[in-house]
């Protein structure tokens, strides 16, 4: 099997602690360039959080159920993917308004990761609580609040990213170990063709959350691999690596004034006391200044 090992040496840097926190399953970071703050979630604690790098404070909203993902709206507030479906969130009042549950017949499922595409549609995927195979799906919440299932037979729906210039959507179903790319029709959102960019070696960790930079390269958090890697979507090669001082990075996003700071979420789920004693910062938020720039997060148009 082609191993995607670069002939040249890969530049590696270390992430630094940004905010110490004990997130059970920290995930879904999204940078709000209007406020200069970072939204992220602790899925299993039902916490939506707003982190301010300026004063190192983390505001916690108790949502009351598992929260898989949050995305910015073009209007005020956010759109959420919760245990019981899609919701709108008012960040001033803290109130949520239900849109619809696409899986009322599947109480054993929950939402996991989600993001908006360039046209303002919110995509989010589900998975079984017990991680049963092929119980999840990937959904698209359109700006008219209609919901469409776009992929089924998913096990752990995870990272999403778009390169609109190339007409490509990138997606991760973690247990497959594959970074997939789909050619898609931007107007309809329908998929035209699927290919595999890279199959991750299990010794490197499991592909989890994903971001994309201004050059179209993918940044992938490797759960149980203690790193985030920058991968070429053309060759599948690792081009840059950020070492994270805890075992389970979960996702990443670009932030900061120049979008050249990579914020990295982590978790402490399924870790023993011994493991946590060795890496007590598990669940915290980390950051690395990188010689690349991200792009602004797409916002929900509904």
What is the 3 state secondary structure string of 45-98? HCEEEEEECCCCEEEEEECCCCEEEEEEECCCCEEEEECCEEEEECCCCCCEEE
Q: 255-266, pLDDT tens digit by residue?
A: 999 999 999 999
Could you give the number of structural domains in the chain? 1
In this structure, are residues 212 and 162 in contact, taking their beta carbons and an 8 Å threshold?
Answer: yes
Residue 282 domain boundaries = 19-289
Give per-residue pLDDT as tens, 21-73: 999 999 999 999 999 999 999 999 999 999 999 999 999 999 999 999 999 99
Name the residue among 189, 69, 206, 43 with its Cα closest to residue 124.
Answer: 69
CA angle 123, 127, 130 (to 5 degrees): 165
Phi, psi (deg, nearest 5) at residue 102:
-80, -10
Residue 253 domain flag: yes
Give the model's pLDDT for residue 2: 38
**In this predicted structure, what is the pLDDT of residue 8?**
61
- State percent of the chain over pLDDT 70: 97
* Any domain includes 295: no
pLDDT tens per residue, range 202-245 = 999 999 999 999 999 999 999 999 999 999 999 999 999 999 99
Task: Identify whether 294 is part of a domain.
Answer: no
Domain containing residue 141: CATH number? 2.120.10.30
Q: Is residue 41 in a domain?
A: yes
Digit-coded pLDDT (tens) for 99-131: 999 999 999 999 999 999 999 999 999 999 999
pTM (2 d.p.): 0.96
CA–CA separation, 286 and 262 (whole Å): 8
Q: How far apart are CA 167 and CA 175, in angstroms?
A: 25
Take residue 181 and report the two structure tokens written for it.
């790319």
Q: pLDDT grade, residue 9 (50/70/90)? A: confident
| In-domain check, residue 131 | yes
177 domain-assigned? yes
Closest C-alpha among 29, 8, 14 to residue 263: 29
Exposed/middle/buried for residue 172 (C-beta within 10 Å: 0-12, 13-18, 19+): buried
């Amino acid at each position: 099997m082609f191993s995607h090992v670069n002939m040249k040496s890969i530049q590696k840097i270390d992430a630094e602690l940004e905010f110490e926190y004990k997130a059970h399953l920290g995930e879904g970071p999204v940078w709000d360039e209007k406020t200069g703050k970072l939204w992220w979630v602790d899925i299993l604690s039902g916490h939506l959080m707003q982190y301010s790098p300026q004063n190192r404070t983390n505001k916690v909203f108790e949502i009351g159920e598992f929260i898989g993902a949050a995305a910015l709206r073009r209007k005020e507030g956010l759109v959420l993917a919760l245990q019981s479906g899609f919701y709108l969130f008012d960040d001033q009042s803290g109130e949520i308004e239900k849109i619809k549950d696409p899986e009322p017949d599947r109480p054993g499922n929950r939402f996991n990761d989600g993001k908006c595409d360039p046209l303002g549609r919110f995509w989010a995927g589900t998975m079984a609580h017990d991680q049963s195979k092929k119980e999840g799906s990937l959904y698209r919440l359109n700006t008219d609040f209609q919901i469409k299932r776009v992929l089924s037979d998913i096990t752990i729906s995870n990272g999403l990213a778009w390169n609109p210039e190339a007409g490509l959507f990138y997606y991760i179903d973690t247990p497959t170990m594959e970074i997939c790319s789909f050619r898609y029709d931007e107007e309809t959102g329908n998929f035209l063709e699927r290919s595999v960019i890279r199959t991750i070696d299990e010794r490197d960790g499991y592909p989890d959350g994903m971001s994309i930079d201004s050059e179209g390269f993918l940044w992938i958090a490797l759960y149980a691999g203690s790193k985030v890697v920058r991968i070429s979507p053309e060759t599948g090669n690792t081009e840059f690596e950020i070492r994270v001082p805890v075992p389970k990075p979960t996702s990443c996003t670009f932030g900061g004034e120049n979008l050249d700071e990579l914020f990295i979420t982590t978790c402490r789920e399924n870790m023993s006391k011994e493991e946590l004693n060795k890496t007590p910062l598990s669940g915290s938020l980390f950051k690395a200044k990188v010689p690349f720039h991200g792009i602004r997060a797409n916002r929900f148009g509904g």
